[in-house]
């Protein structure tokens, strides 16, 4: 752990109803994450990495146990409080980018700021700064269908980073990208992690991503199998 814990996960269990039965995706996870970490949840499909990421991101609720994110217990948050946590402190990067297709690059990146109380000049500056981080200042007026996969993911990174959140959650961010683009966006995220001290948590089984991680948490069948710390 690099710094004080911003995420504490204690005996976290998540079950999903399947037909008349139940499927246990997380079987008692215990983890802590500190400020400025560049960590990854690694494991094959069904290991529970996306489920854990969703709970950390307050998009889902634990069945048992506790997940405290930025001092807030996820299971005790109302829908409004969860939304406030996501709006103010979390950034998301998805495998399939999840950009708003009819909006321009600028509008996509501006979106999280619209939900916060920024003035128009403030928003414009922040959006342009974020686009500069990912090298897309020349694409402000383009719409996602006009961009390559790599460019779309860079827009998604800019959108996640624009409000300078404490924590960015990235679910398989390179799954739809070729090697060159994957390295490009990973370097971008690495730089942002260094410069802004933002905590990044990935859910991945991509070797390219794993190569960049400073902390690797291997999940297997809903449990932490083992962890590796990379010291530089």
Partner 1 sequence: MKIAFKLAFRNLIGAGLRTWLNVIVLSFSFVVIIWMKGILVGWDHQAKNDMEQWEIGKGQFWHKQYDPYDAFTITDSHASIPSEFKPEIERGKMVPMLFAQGTIYPQGRMQPAMIKGIPASQTLLKIPTHQLDSETDAIPAIIGEVMARSSHLEKGSRVVLRWRDSKGTFDAAEIEIVDVFSTTVPTIDVAQVWINLETMQEKLLLPEQATLFSFANAEENRSTVGDFSLKTKKDLTAEIDAMIKTKNAGQSVFYVILLLLAMLAIFDTQILSIFRRQKEIGTYVALGYTRQQVVALFTVEGAMHAVLAAALAAVYGIPFFIWQAKVGFTVPMDTSEFGMSVAPVMYPIYSMGLILTTTLIVLLTTSVVSYWPARRIAKMNPTEALRGKIQ
**Which chain residues interact with partner 1 by CB under 8 A?**
50, 54, 57, 59-60, 79-80, 82-84, 86-88, 92, 94, 96, 98-103, 107, 111-112, 114-115, 159
Q: Which is nearer to partner 1, 117 or 179 (CB)?
A: 117
Q: Which is nearer to partner 1, 162 or 219 (CB)?
A: 162
Q: Which is nearer to partner 1, 66 or 107 (CB)?
A: 107
The helix or strand, by DSSP H or E, that contains position 31, with its residue range, turns out to be strand 21-34
DSSP 37-80: -EEEEE--TTSSHHHHHHHHTTSS--SEEEEEETTEEGGG--HH
| CA-angle at 11, arms to 14 and 39, nearest 5° | 85
Nearest approach in angstroms of CB 136 to partner 1 is 19
Task: Please answer whether residues 63 and 13 qualify as being in contact, where contact means their C-beta atoms are separated by less than 8 angstroms.
Answer: yes
Q: Which is nearer to partner 1, 36 or 144 (CB)?
A: 144
Nearest approach in angstroms of CB 97 to partner 1 is 9
- The number of beta carbons lying within 10 Å of the beta carbon of residue 34 is 15
Nearest approach in angstroms of CB 94 to partner 1 is 7
Task: Please answer whether residues 209 and 174 qualify as being in contact, where contact means their C-beta atoms are separated by less than 8 angstroms.
Answer: yes
Nearest approach in angstroms of CB 176 to partner 1 is 13
Q: For 155-214, what is the HEC assignment?
A: HHHHHHHCCCCCEEEEECCCCCCCHHHHHHHHHHHHHHHHHHCCEEEEEECCHHHHHHCC
Q: Which is nearer to partner 1, 102 or 230 (CB)?
A: 102
Q: Which is nearer to partner 1, 98 or 176 (CB)?
A: 98
Nearest approach in angstroms of CB 84 to partner 1 is 7
Task: Please answer whether residues 184 and 7 qualify as being in contact, where contact means their C-beta atoms are separated by less than 8 angstroms.
Answer: no
Alpha carbon distance 117, 109 (integer Å): 15
Nearest approach in angstroms of CB 2 to partner 1 is 26
């Amino acid at each position: 752990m690099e710094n004080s814990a911003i995420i504490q996960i204690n005996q976290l269990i998540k079950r999903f109803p399947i037909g008349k039965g139940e499927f246990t995706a997380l079987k008692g996870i215990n983890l802590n994450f500190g400020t400025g970490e560049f960590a990854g949840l690694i494991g094959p499909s069904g290991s529970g990495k996306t489920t854990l990421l969703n709970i950390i991101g307050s998009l889902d609720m634990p069945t048992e146990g506790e997940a405290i994110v930025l001092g807030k217990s996820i299971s005790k948050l109302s829908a409004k409080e969860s939304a406030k946590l996501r709006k103010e402190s979390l950034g998301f990067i998805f495998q399939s980018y999840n950009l708003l297709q009819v909006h321009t690059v600028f509008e996509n990146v501006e979106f999280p700021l619209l939900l916060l109380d920024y003035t128009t000049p403030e928003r414009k500056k922040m959006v342009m700064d974020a686009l500069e981080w990912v090298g897309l200042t020349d694409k402000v007026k383009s719409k996602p269908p006009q961009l390559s996969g790599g460019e779309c993911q860079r827009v998604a990174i800019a959108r996640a980073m624009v409000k300078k959140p404490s924590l960015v959650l990235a679910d398989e961010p390179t799954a739809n990208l070729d090697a060159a683009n994957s390295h490009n966006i990973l370097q971008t995220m690495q730089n942002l992690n260094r410069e802004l001290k933002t905590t990044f948590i990935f859910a991945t089984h991509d070797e390219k991503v794993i190569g960049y991680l400073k902390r690797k948490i291997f999940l297997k069948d809903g449990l932490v199998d083992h962890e590796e710390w990379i010291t530089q």
